[in-house]
């Protein structure tokens, strides 16, 4: 018997579109185009953009044709109804593209198919056409402006790397840029990449404009053409800091480990580090992005009347430039004057987009945020309140602006006495057997912050005791009393009464998905099913629930819309736009037979090399949480559901299925779990997917504190939790009679997806039997799984299944 690895499965699964139906919703396409333009980030512009109408433009780089519409892996593997590229889109819009150069590239690209590779070995770049001086100078005699496109892609099981063609330019690309910038009056460089790459060359070469075009899905080429011509504004603002050099990132020394990574930078992720300790190492600050007009922010003030009300910030945003435009107003907490908890000197606490403001006009912008966004998490009691969110007494300056750097002060919130916002308990702390040091703020003699180090607080909790003290009470079994699932969905019977009818086999079955991807119970090419998988469960009225990937489109055998990647969406900082797009996407899910989209991907951009950064949103948890919540709200408004993933700390692809993310409780609370919490509490997703990796020594899918203590206990999550595709099998470290899926169910992870075969199975077909093997009807001590635990899992799964279109239709019939 073999246990599938994700790579094997995913390779086998990748399928060409099976039917010829390329129909799509034009409203979705139109919105995708708008969102891709709104997520395009203009980093520098000396005035060359937007291009003047009728001005001839010479376009260099093969990626103008071989455009990267999406990254690699489950998150990008959509049979797109169509894709667009830059050259075609510029021509479509009537831009005076230099025809001779375009034809040279077309001919060359025709003979140089982009390399295609197996799962996990995809090309990070496409070898570039050699361009000699002669060709460049000839083109420069026909056009004053050049556009050069550089492309990169990474993905699932495919980290970006510190190599030419990865994080760095290849020699051919560098030569191309050198020659073009030397010969042309103006050079616009477009970086079409899902990852931040080295951009130090842009300064060196003196480019006229630098544009980040994240993989924008099927409309990405058109969206960038819209931006170049000025039909659309480049609406994006950076969701990550771009450093001068990779080594400057605070994660750099602790990323890519095979066995583990110490998250030694602690809460000082991205701009939290740079703004506190190393502002000079920043090439482009978090939140930065230019439009085609300029804004002046003035008259900022705030109201923080009492501890019980939100903090409200006002600012006047005047359009001082030549064109109508909108901007993103960002509000940051500054460094508090006193306190025992080391604080980053800036933290995003709120943001909003302005309306489109006409030249010479202004908008009074009001933005409010809950006071608890001033709080920090105390994981060792130094503030006097261990395991609590606290706002320490002090003065909290509030800055408002258009990036983390471009701000004015709106005033300060003065906190007279330390406030405990939320008293929690220790959970998920690092293993004392493998301690590490974490970053903290030390001070120079002149009071300037510099990096200090301290020992990370480690776990002291007896998890065994905690689990045994919280075993759920069983519901008295009744046997079949005739309640059907449709009675529950229609409100004629309670879910508890329905579950009371299920025997142990039914209950155990509900904790497994349908063994393989591409379940015959759903649309061809689905990612797997759970719920009503047996005849008996279906006879009771429980439908099979069909899952599909996500996030960039619906991954089924049929054609589907390919949408802008996660980073592109978050770069819009526009929750309303994301919700609208996701609403139309939810409608497409209904048409394609997807009940659950395995999306949004919402891990933190801890390091620029993470292969799946394109699927994820940001280095900032507030922006991540708000973007994810908007997407979940949109999808779920259509009667289908979302499945935010990967909970938690799946911040690299290298050895992701074994790797241990070792991270302090404070960093978990403030950074890595916070986005998920916001999403859960703002949008109520019906599903959550755990990650493959371990968090402080325990796999996420076996992690009781992660899923039961925190997600369900503290955040009040009532939905379904599923594993990432094929979890790791392992003995239970605490309860010797449990292993594999029994440990999973005890942790509160409801469904093994898509189902499983295990080395430990005693069944002839090798199917995972650990739940039944771990259950004993006579043992209520907790050494075995209890009836209450199985029933509780069923409640979670069925509460979710009750929301599906099939369940609702049956209830209405
Ligand atoms: C990925 C998930 C994905 C799942 C199903 C896994 O390898 O990590 O993000 O949803 O496969 O395709």
Give the burial string for 662-674 (b: 16+ CB within 10 Å, else e): bbbbbbbbbbbbb
- Judge contact between 336 and 395, C-beta under 8 A: yes
Phi-psi category of residue 600: left, alpha or beta, with phi > 0 → left and psi -120 to 50 → alpha: beta
* Percent of residues, the chain, with pLDDT higher than 70: 97
Distance 691 CA to ligand 1 centre (A): 9
* 390 CA distance to ligand 1 middle (Å): 36
The pair of three-digit structure tokens given for residue 136, joined into one six-digit string: 């460049």
Residue 184 near ligand 1, beta carbon < 6 Å: no
> Catalytic: 506?
no
Would you kindly state where each structural domain of the chain is located, as residue ranges? 26-236
pLDDT digits (tens, 9 = 90+) for 45-76: 999 999 998 999 999 999 999 999 999 999 99
If one counts every other C-beta atom within 10 angstroms of the C-beta of residue 145, the result is 23
pLDDT score, position 16 = 54
pLDDT surpasses 90 at 9:
no
| Residue pair 421/449 in contact by the 8 Å Cβ criterion | no
Q: What is the pLDDT of residues 319-355, one digit of tens each?
A: 999 999 999 999 999 988 778 999 999 999 999 999 9
What does the block give as tokens for 811? 């209830």
- What's the rounded mean pLDDT across residues 597-621? 98
Predicted pLDDT of residue 14: 41
Beta-bridge partners for 155:
72, 158
| Section 86-109 average pLDDT | 98
Mean pLDDT confidence for 754-779 = 83
What's residue 764's pLDDT?
76
282/243 Cα distance (integer angstroms): 4
Q: Is the pLDDT score of 414 beyond 90?
A: yes
Which ligand 1 atom is nearest residue 550's CA? Answer: 10
Q: Output the CA 649–ligand 1 centroid distance in Å.
A: 15
Pick the catalytic residue from 595, 724, 740, 768.
724
pLDDT for 679 beyond 50: yes
DSSP structure class, residue 789: H
Residue 48, CA atoms < 13 Å, CB-side half-sphere = 23
Give the Cα separation of 80 and 69 in Å (integer).
10
- pLDDT at residue number 760: 66
pLDDT value, residue 53: 87
Reported as a pLDDT band with limits 50, 70 and 90, residue 727 is confident
The C-alpha atoms of residue 554 and residue 550 are separated, in whole angstroms, by 6
Closest residue CA from atom 11 of ligand 1: 725
**Which residues, including other chains, have CB under 8 Å from residue 124's CB and lie 6 or more apart?**
152, 153, 154, 158, 160, 161, 165, 166
State pLDDT tens for residues 13-36.
Answer: 444 555 678 999 999 999 999 999
pLDDT confidence of residue 412: 96
The label of the residue with tokens 């970053």 reads: 439
Task: Please give the Cα distance from 435 to 244 (Å, whole number).
Answer: 31
Q: What secondary structure does DSSP assign to 507-562, as a single string?
A: HHHTTB--SSSS-TTSSTT--EEEES-SHHHHHTTPPEEEEEE-SSB-BSSS-B-B
pLDDT of 7 higher than 70? no
Centroid of ligand 1 to alpha carbon of 354 (angstroms): 36
Dihedral sign computed on CA atoms, order 249, 253, 255, 260:
negative
CA-to-CA distance for 420 and 423, rounded, in angstroms?
7
Please list, residue by residue across 74-108, b when 16 or more beta carbons sit within 10 angstroms of its beta carbon and e when fewer do.
bbbbbbbbebbbbbbbbeeeebbbbeebbebbeee
Q: What's the CA gap between 673 and 660, in Å, rounded?
A: 16
* Residue 582 pLDDT exceeds 70: yes
Instruction: Identify which of 812, 754, 222 has the alpha carbon closest to the alpha carbon of residue 522.
Output: 754
pLDDT at 304: 83
Predicted pLDDT of residue 332: 98
Hey, which residues does 785 pair with through a beta bridge? 775
Helices 220-229 and 26-38: angle between axes, nearest 10 degrees: 50
498-554: pLDDT as tens digits: 999 999 999 999 999 988 899 999 999 999 999 999 999 999 999 999 999 999 999
pLDDT tens profile 682-710: 999 999 999 999 999 999 999 999 999 99
What pLDDT is recorded for position 8? 33
Cβ 350 under 6 angstroms from ligand 1? no
User: Distance between CA 342 and CA 485 in Å, rounded?
Assistant: 52
Q: Which one-letter DSSP state was computed for residue 671? A: I
SS3 766: coil
Residue 457 is classified by DSSP as: P
Please state which CATH number belongs to domain 26-236. Answer: 3.40.50.1700
| pLDDT at residue 808 is higher than 90 | yes
Q: Which two tokens stand for residue 632?
A: 């979940």
Tokens representing residue 541 in the block: 């009225």
Q: Check pocket membership of 402 for ligand 1, CB cut-off 6 A.
A: no
Instruction: Classify burial at 55, counting beta carbons within 10 Å of its beta carbon; exposed 0-12, middle 13-18, buried 19 or more.
Output: middle
């Amino acid at each position: 018997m073999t246990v599938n690895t994700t790579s094997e499965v995913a390779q086998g699964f990748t399928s060409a579109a099976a039917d010829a139906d390329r129909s799509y919703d034009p409203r979705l396409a139109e919105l995708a185009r708008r969102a891709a333009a709104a997520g395009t980030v203009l980093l520098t512009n000396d005035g060359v953009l937007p291009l003047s109408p009728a001005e001839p433009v010479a376009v260099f780089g093969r990626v103008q044709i071989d455009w990267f519409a999406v990254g690699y892996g489950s998150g990008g593997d959509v049979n797109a109804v169509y894709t667009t590229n830059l050259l075609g889109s510029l021509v479509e819009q009537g831009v005076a593209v230099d025809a001779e150069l375009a034809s040279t590239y077309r001919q060359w690209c025709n003979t140089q198919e982009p390399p295609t590779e197996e799962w996990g070995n995809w090309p990070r770049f496409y070898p570039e056409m050699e361009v000699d001086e002669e060709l460049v100078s000839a083109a420069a005699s026909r056009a004053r402006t050049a556009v050069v496109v550089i492309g990169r892609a990474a993905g699932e099981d495919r980290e970006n790397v510190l190599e030419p063609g990865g994080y760095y330019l290849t020699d051919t690309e560098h030569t191309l840029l050198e020659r073009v910038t030397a010969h042309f009056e103006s050079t616009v460089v477009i970086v079409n990449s899902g990852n931040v790459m080295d951009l130090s060359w842009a300064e060196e070469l003196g480019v006229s404009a630098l544009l980040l075009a994240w993989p924008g899905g099927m409309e990405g080429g058109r969206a960038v053409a819209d931006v170049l011509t000025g039909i659309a504004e480049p609406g994006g603002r950076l969701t990550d800091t771009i450093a001068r050099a990779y080594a400057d990132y605070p994660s750099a020394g602790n990323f890519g480990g095979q066995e583990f990574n110490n998250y030694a930078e602690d809460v000082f992720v991205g701009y939290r580090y740079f703004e506190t300790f190393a502002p000079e190492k920043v090439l482009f600050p978090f939140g930065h992005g230019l439009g085609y007009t300029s804004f002046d922010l003035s008259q900022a003030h705030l109201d923080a009347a009492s501890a019980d009300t939100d903090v409200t910030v006002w600012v006047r945003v005047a359009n001082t430039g030549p064109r109508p435009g909108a901007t993103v107003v960002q509000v940051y907490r500054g460094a508090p004057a006193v306190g025992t908890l080391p604080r980053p000197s800036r933290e995003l606490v709120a943001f909003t987009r302005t309306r489109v403001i006409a030249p010479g006009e202004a908008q009074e912008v009001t933005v409010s945020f809950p006071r608890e966004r001033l709080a920090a998490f105390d994981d060792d009691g130094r503030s006097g309140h261990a395991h609590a969110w606290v706002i320490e007494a002090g003065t909290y300056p509030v800055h408002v602006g258009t990036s983390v750097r471009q701000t004015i002060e709106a005033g300060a919130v003065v906190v007279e006495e330390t406030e405990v916002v939320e008293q929690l308990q220790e959970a998920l702390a690092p293993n004392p057997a493998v301690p590490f040091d974490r970053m903290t703020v030390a001070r120079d003699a002149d009071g300037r912050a510099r990096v200090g180090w301290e020992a990370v607080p480690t776990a002291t909790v007896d998890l065994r005791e905690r689990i045994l003290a919280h075993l759920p009470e069983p519901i008295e079994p009744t046997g079949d009393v005739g309640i059907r699932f449709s009675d529950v969905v229609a409100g004629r019977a309670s879910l508890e009464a329905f579950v009371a009818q299920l025997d142990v086999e039914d209950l155990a079955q509900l904790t497994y998905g349908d063994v393989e991807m591409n379940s015959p119970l759903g649309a061809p090419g689905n990612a797997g099913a759970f719920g009503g998988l047996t005849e008996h469960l279906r006879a009771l009225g429980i439908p099979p629930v069909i899952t599909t990937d996500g996030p960039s489109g619906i991954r089924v055998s049929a054609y589907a819309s390919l949408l802008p990647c996660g980073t592109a969406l978050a770069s819009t900082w526009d929750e309303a736009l994301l919700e609208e797009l996701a609403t139309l996407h939810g409608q497409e899910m209904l048409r394609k037979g997807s009940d659950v989209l395995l999306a949004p991907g919402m891990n933190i951009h801890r390091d620029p090399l993470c292969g799946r950064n394109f699927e994820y949103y940001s280095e900032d948890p507030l922006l991540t949480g708000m973007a994810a919540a908007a997407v979940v709200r949109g999808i779920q408004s259509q009667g289908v559901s979302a499945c935010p993933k990967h909970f938690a700390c799946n911040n690299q692809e290298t050895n992701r299925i074994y790797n241990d993310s070792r991270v302090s409780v404070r960093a978990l609370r403030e950074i890595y779990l916070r986005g998920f919490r916001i999403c859960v509490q703002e949008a109520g997703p019906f599903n959550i997917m755990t990650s493959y990796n371990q968090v402080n020594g325990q796999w996420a899918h076996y992690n009781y504190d992660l899923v039961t203590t925190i997600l369900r206990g503290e955040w009040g999550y009532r939905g379904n939790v599923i594993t990432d595709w094929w979890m790791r099998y392992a003995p239970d470290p605490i309860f010797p009679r449990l292993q594999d899926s029994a440990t999973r169910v005890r942790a509160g992870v409801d469904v093994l997806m898509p189902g499983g075969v295990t080395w430990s199975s005693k069944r002839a077909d090798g199917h995972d039997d650990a739940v039944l093997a771990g259950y004993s009807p006579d043992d209520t001590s907790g050494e075995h799984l209890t009836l209450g635990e199985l029933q509780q899992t069923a409640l979670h799964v069925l509460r979710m299944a009750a929301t599906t279109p099939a369940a609702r239709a049956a209830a209405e019939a």
